[in-house]
């Protein structure tokens, strides 16, 4: 799989740097793309990719963006927040005939891309897999593995949990601020076989792994609610986080406060941060299952997932269109590729 060319848009950011490092580790040709030549040159130097091509294009210049992606087999878009500009990067990648993945966690943007970009991707013969992140891929793949064991599903509730003092990058905080309203009302959930906007009914407290007492959880705009119904027969999919996390995300911050923060967590902070996704599932026949998938280092894991996804799209293209992770990749095989990065999963059926 070494003979591929992958363009990274937003290569000058915190997540972009980790994606560049992972691409360098895996081999292949890298193109650094973004809006600022100086920052891109500096990112190339820091990643030891001084021979890599740097291509400058703003999101407002569609022709330049397509030219930036021309010749690439795949694009990894790390330029968040995605809600204001991400669709233009998707369109340019598709127009350039390149597969596309991104590091987006903004649920309504993902929902929009699934709904509106499939026809163009199909015509171009390329595959778009949004949310190639720690929050977007593991839960979707695990949900599919549970459905393979239980058959048609009635309910899935996904709870994402962050631990070990997980620290966020400046870009993540800026992104979350931009979707504060969506986070407050829960985004969209899949209820009675259709996507519906929040606010939603309160969820019952849940006992999370390692705990003995139920903890309060609140609706949250997670990827599984928009991706799982695309590949699995199911009536309801809801996303949630602990209420304490919701409160943290709702903390008001000004631009000045964000700019004063470091660009992102240090390597030690990243390694100390944990993420856990808990999927509580009820099958149509009444059987219940819990799937748990967990790891450390949100940003490092996201780099591994985005690069793994892009390389798989190039090496073994699935159907063209906008696909959920479990439509594009073999779930168990993809998760096995994340084991060396410390990702572990289990499924318990009652
Ligand atoms: N699980 C998840 O959901 C998950 C995990 C990891 C990352 N993420 C997301 O990934 C994104 C990137 O995070 P980060 O920490 O790398 O942020 P960052 O350090 O602020 O980097 C953002 C990058 O995007 C570029 N960019 C931003 N707005 C742009 C625009 N309008 N036009 C062109 N380029 C633009 C920036 O370019 P300049 O350098 O020129 O400013 C920079 O290269 C965030 O949205 C974050 O939420 C999500």
**CA pair distance 18, 183, nearest whole angstrom:** 26
Whether 100 and 153 share a structural domain: no
Q: Residue 328's domain is classified under what CATH number?
A: 3.40.50.720
CATH assignment at residue 154:
3.30.360.10
**Cβ-based burial of 257 (10 A; exposed 0-12, middle 13-18, buried ≥19):** exposed
* Position in ligand 1 atom list of the atom nearest CA 131: 3
Torsion of Cα atoms, 207 then 209 then 271 then 338, to 10°:
-120
> Is residue 274 within a helix (H) or strand (E), and if so which, with residue range?
strand 274-283
Q: Which alpha helices (DSSP H) does the chain contain, by range?
A: 14-26, 37-46, 62-69, 86-95, 107-116, 118-124, 138-150, 170-178, 180-185, 224-227, 243-249, 255-259, 267-272, 298-315, 325-328, 331-338
Domain co-membership, 329 together with 283: no
Collapsing DSSP to helix, strand or coil, 121 comes out as helix
What spacing in Å lies between the alpha carbon of 80 and ligand 1's midpoint?
3
How far is the centre of ligand 1, averaged over its atoms, from the C-alpha of 141 (Å)? 25
Question: pLDDT value at position 25?
Answer: 97
| pLDDT score for 300 | 98
Cα–Cα dist 64/290, whole Å = 47
Is 0.85 topped by the overall pTM?
A: yes
Helix (H, G, I), strand (E, B) or coil at 106: coil
Rounded Cα gap, residues 47 and 241, in angstroms: 35
- Cα 336 to averaged position of ligand 1 atoms, centre (Å): 28
Say how many Å lie between the CA of residue 78 and the centre of ligand 1.
5
Q: Which residues line ligand 1 (CB under 6 A)?
A: 10, 12-16, 34-36, 39, 59, 78-82, 85, 103, 105, 133-135, 169-172, 175, 263-264, 298-299, 302
Based on the fold, state whether residues 308 and 292 are members of the same structural domain. Answer: no
Q: How far is CA 227 from CA 70, 325, 328, in A?
A: 29, 8, 12
pLDDT at residue 249, rounded to an integer: 84
The confidence score (pLDDT) of residue 2 equals 47
9 lies in the same domain as 97: yes
196 and 262 both lie in a single domain:
yes
Domain region containing 68: 5-133+301-333
Clarify whether residues 142 and 127 are in a common domain: no
Number of domains in the chain: 2
Instruction: Give the position, in ligand 1's atom list, of the atom nearest the Cα of 12.
Output: 43
What Rg do the C-alpha atoms of the chain give, in angstroms?
Answer: 19
The pair of structure tokens assigned to 216 is 């309060």
| Position in ligand 1 atom list of the atom nearest CA 134 | 1
For residues 6 and 33, give the distance between their C-alpha atoms in angstroms, rounded to a whole number: 10
Which residue's CA lies nearest to atom 35 of ligand 1? 79
Would you state the pLDDT for residue 230?
Answer: 98
Do 246 and 307 lie in a common domain? no
| Residue 257 and residue 118 share a domain | no
Q: Of the residues 7, 8, 9, 10, which should be mutated to test ligand 1's pocket, given the most ligand atoms within 8 Å of the CB?
A: 10
Q: 198 with 187: CB under 8 angstroms? A: yes
Question: Residue 49, CB half-sphere, CA atoms under 13 Å: how many?
Answer: 30
Residues 42 and 89 in one domain: yes
309, 261: one domain? no
- Asked if 106 and 222 sit in the same domain, the reply is no
CA 81 / ligand 1 centre spacing (Å)? 6
Phi, psi angle pair for 154, to nearest 5°: -100, -50
Alpha-carbon gap, residue 44 to 52, rounded angstroms: 7
Taking CA atoms only, the protein residue closest to ligand 1 atom 45 is 80
Q: What is the pLDDT along the chain (350 residues), one digit of tens a residue?
A: 446 999 999 999 999 999 999 999 999 999 999 999 999 999 999 999 999 999 999 999 999 999 999 999 999 999 999 999 999 999 999 999 999 999 999 999 999 999 999 999 999 999 999 999 999 999 999 999 999 999 999 999 999 999 877 789 999 999 999 999 999 999 999 999 999 999 999 999 999 999 999 999 999 999 999 999 999 999 999 999 999 999 888 888 888 999 999 999 999 999 999 999 999 999 999 999 999 999 999 999 999 999 999 999 999 999 999 999 999 999 999 999 999 999 999 999 99
First-to-final CA distance of the chain: 40
Q: Give yes or no: residues 98 and 148 share one domain.
A: no
The two tokens of residue 163 are 């631990």
pLDDT score recorded for residue 165 = 77
Distance 79 CA to ligand 1 centre (A): 4
Distance 126 CA to ligand 1 centre (A): 24
CB atoms within 10 A of CB 26: 17
């Amino acid at each position: 799989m070494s003979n591929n060319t992958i363009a990274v848009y937003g290569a000058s950011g915190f997540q972009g740097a980790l994606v560049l490092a992972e691409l360098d580790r895996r081999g292949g040709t890298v193109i650094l793309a973004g809006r600022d030549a100086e920052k891109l040159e500096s990112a190339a130097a820091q990643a030891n990719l001084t021979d890599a091509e740097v291509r400058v294009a703003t999101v407002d210049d569609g022709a330049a963006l397509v030219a930036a992606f021309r010749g690439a087999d795949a694009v990894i878009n790390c330029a968040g927040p995605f809600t204001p500009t991400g669709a233009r990067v998707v369109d340019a990648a598709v127009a350039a005939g390149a597969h596309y993945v991104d590091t987006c966690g903004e649920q309504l943007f993902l929902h929009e891309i699934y709904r509106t970009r499939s026809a163009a991707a199909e015509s171009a013969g390329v595959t778009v897999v949004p949310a190639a992140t720690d929050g977007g891929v593991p839960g979707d793949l695990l949900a599919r593995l549970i459905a393979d064991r239980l058959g048609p599903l009635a309910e899935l509730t996904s709870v994402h949990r962050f631990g070990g003092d997980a620290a966020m990058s400046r870009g993540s905080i800026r992104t979350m601020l931009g979707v504060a309203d969506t986070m407050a009302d829960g985004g969209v959930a899949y209820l009675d076989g259709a996507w519906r906007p929040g606010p939603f009914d309160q969820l019952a407290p849940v006992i999370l792994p390692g705990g003995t007492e139920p903890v309060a959880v609140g609706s949250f705009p997670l990827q599984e609610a928009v991706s799982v119904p695309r590949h699995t027969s199911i009536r309801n999919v809801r996303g949630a986080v602990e209420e304490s996390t919701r409160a943290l995300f709702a903390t008001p911050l000004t631009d000045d406060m964000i700019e004063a923060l470091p660009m992102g967590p240090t390597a030690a902070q990243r390694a100390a941060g944990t993420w856990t996704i808990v999927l509580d599932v009820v099958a149509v026949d009444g059987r219940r299952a819990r799937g748990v998938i967990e790891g450390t280092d949100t940003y490092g894991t996201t780099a591994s997932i985005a690069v793994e996804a892009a390389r798989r799209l190039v090496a073994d293209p699935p159907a063209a269109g906008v696909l959920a992770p479990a439509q594009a990749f073999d779930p168990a095989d993809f998760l096995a590729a994340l084991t060396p990065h410390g990702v572990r999963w289990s499924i318990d059926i009652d």
